[in-house]
Amino acid sequence: DAKTTQPPSMDCAEGRAANLPCNHSTISGNEYVYWYRQIHSQGPQYIIHGLKNNETNEMASLIITEDRKSSTLILPHATLRDTAVYYCIVRVGNNNAGNMLTFGGGTRLMVKP
Amino acid sequence: DGGITQSPKYLFRKEGQNVTLSCEQNLNHDAMYWYRQDPGQGLRLIYYSQIVNDFQKGDIAEGYSVSREKKESFPLTVTSAQKNPTAFYLCASSIWGRGANVLTFGAGSRLTVL
C-alpha cells in the first residue's frame, strides 16, 4: 500500500477554511484516498474518499492532484467541533486479503476561537 | 439507527485475567475488524473477519483471540498472554466487495490492567 505523509499538527481559526494536506507519492492507479477523523476518545469517523476526481459531500471537499501524488481535505468553515485528528489513508478496493485500512499518525487539527 | 455497539466502554482487569470485549453491528455488514490504539498513536489491526466462521490475523494478533459465530457479532478476547493489554480497542465493520471500502467504527472500549 502507498505510504502517506501528513503534518503532525495544524491550527485553524474558527469560521475559516481548514486545508489539510496529504502526500501519497507512491500511490498506484487502483488505490483510493480516504479521510477519517477521530475526536478525542471516540471511534474514527469516515469523512470522504476519492479515486481520481475531486469529491464533495456535506462534511468536506477532497481535492486530488492530477498526478494523484497528493491530496487536500478542505473543511470549508471550521468549527470548534472539528478539532480532531485527521487520517489520510490510501488503499486498494476489492482486496482479497481484506480491505484493511492502515491508520498512521494523522494530523492533529486545532480549531481556535 | 444502524451502527456498531461496543461494550463495556471502560474495563479494568488484573494481570493474568482474560477479558472479552463485545462488538455488535446491525448494519448487515459482512466484514468486521478489531483495532488497537495506544495513546498518541494511530490504529493497529488485530484481527478481521470477512465472513461468518472465518477470521484472519492482523498485524498484532499475538495474545488476542476472536470468534465469528454470527454475522452481527465479533467478540475479542484479550488473554493473559498479551503483555501490554492496556489500550483503547476499536471495532469496525464494512461491506465486502468491489470498489471503495468505508469502515464504520464503534465508540471503543478502554481496557486498563491494574
Note down pLDDT in tens along chain B; length 114 residues. 669 999 999 999 998 899 999 999 999 999 999 999 998 888 899 999 989 999 999 989 999 999 999 999 999 999 988 889 999 999 999 887 766 778 899 999 999 998
Q: Does B90 touch chain A (CB under 8 A)?
A: yes
Collect all residues of chain B within an 8 Å Cβ-Cβ radius of residue A102: 42-43, 45
Name which of B92, B103, B108 is nearest A42 (Cβ-Cβ). B108
Order of strands across the sheet that contains A9-13: A9-13, A107-112, A84-92, A31-38, A45-50
Most distant CA atoms of chain A, gap in Å: 46
Q: Please give the grid coordinates belonging to residue B80.
A: 493473559
Considering only residues A29 and A72, tell me which one the structure prediction assigns the higher pLDDT: A72
Higher pLDDT, B69 or A105: B69
Rounded to an integer, the average pLDDT of A59-70 is: 96
Hey, how many other C-beta atoms are within 10 angstroms of the C-beta on B65?
17
- Whether chain A has a CB inside 8 Å of the CB on B102: the answer is yes
How would DSSP label each residue in A30-96? TEEEEEEEE-TTS--EEEEEESSS-EE-SS-EEEE-TTSSEEEEEETT--GGG-EEEEEEEEESS-T
Of A88, A4, A38, A84, give the one whose Cα is nearest residue B88: A38
pLDDT of residue B96: 76
Task: Find the residue in A nearest to B100 (Cα).
Answer: A93
Can you give the pLDDT at residue B71? 96
The DSSP letter of residue A5 is B
For residue A18, name the pLDDT band (cuts at 50, 70, 90). very high
The answer to whether residue A62 scores a pLDDT higher than 60 is yes
Tell if the CB–CB gap between B108 and A91 is shorter than 8 Å. no
pLDDT recorded at residue A96: 52
**Taking 80 as the threshold, does the pLDDT of residue A101 lie above it?**
no
Q: Is the peptide bond before B8 cis (omega within 30 degrees of 0)?
A: yes
Residue A31 pairs with which residues in a beta bridge?
Answer: A92
C-alpha distances out from residue A96 to A93, A109, B32, B59, B104, Å: 9, 34, 14, 16, 19
Adjacent-strand bridge partners of B56: B48
- Picking from B109, B112, B86, B100, the residue whose alpha carbon sits closest to that of residue B22 is B109
Determine the pLDDT at residue A80: 97
